[in-house]
Amino acid sequence: MPLVSRYEITVEWGDCDPAGIVYYPAYFRWFDQATYRLFLAAGLKRDDVSSGQWKEGTPLVGAECAFRRPSQHGEKLSIESRVEKFGRSSFIIRHVFRDGTGAVAAEGTETRIWARKDGDARSLRAIALPDDVKHRLGG
């Protein structure tokens, strides 16, 4: 059974564009924030930087989102997140956004890998998803 986390955001003034609705890259920022909450709910610290330097974490290899209903400034959206598939190094997180009426405002997925970096961006490489991480996320 996958672990499910819930996270609520407010659509801020600066999240919206001149059409008066959410500027769509904001949904992907919320995806990333929601995945962080999913890890916290699992008792994990995603992309630990407490040493001051990032060595290991969860970069993206893909992301997609369907935008169902436009939202505007001041609305609250609740996001439900869970891992829907585990690979050797990769895992897919599904995020579903609902607005105040309960309607789905947006939904999509992030495909992440577990990765390590020893030098610059070019040195980033996939490693096996740790068993403990997989287990805590419900895999």
Among 2, 3, 67, 89, binds a second copy (CB under 8 A): 67
Among 4, 6, 8, 24, binds a second copy (CB under 8 A): 24
The C-alpha atoms of residue 91 and residue 111 are separated, in whole angstroms, by 6
131 counts as catalytic: no
The C-alpha atoms of residue 55 and residue 44 are separated, in whole angstroms, by 16
User: Are 94 and 84 within 8 A, CB to CB?
Assistant: yes
The CB-of-56 to a second copy minimum distance in angstroms stands at 9
- Determine, following the binding rule CB under 8 A, whether residue 132 of this chain makes contact with a second copy: no
Torsion of CA 82, 91, 35, 118, to 10 degrees: 160
Neighbouring residues of 25: CB distance < 8 A, sequence distance ≥ 6: none
Among 3, 33, 92, 138, binds a second copy (CB under 8 A): 33
What is the contact surface with a second copy in residues (CB under 8 A)? 12-14, 16-21, 23-26, 28-29, 32-33, 36, 45-47, 49-54, 57, 59-67, 69-74, 117-124
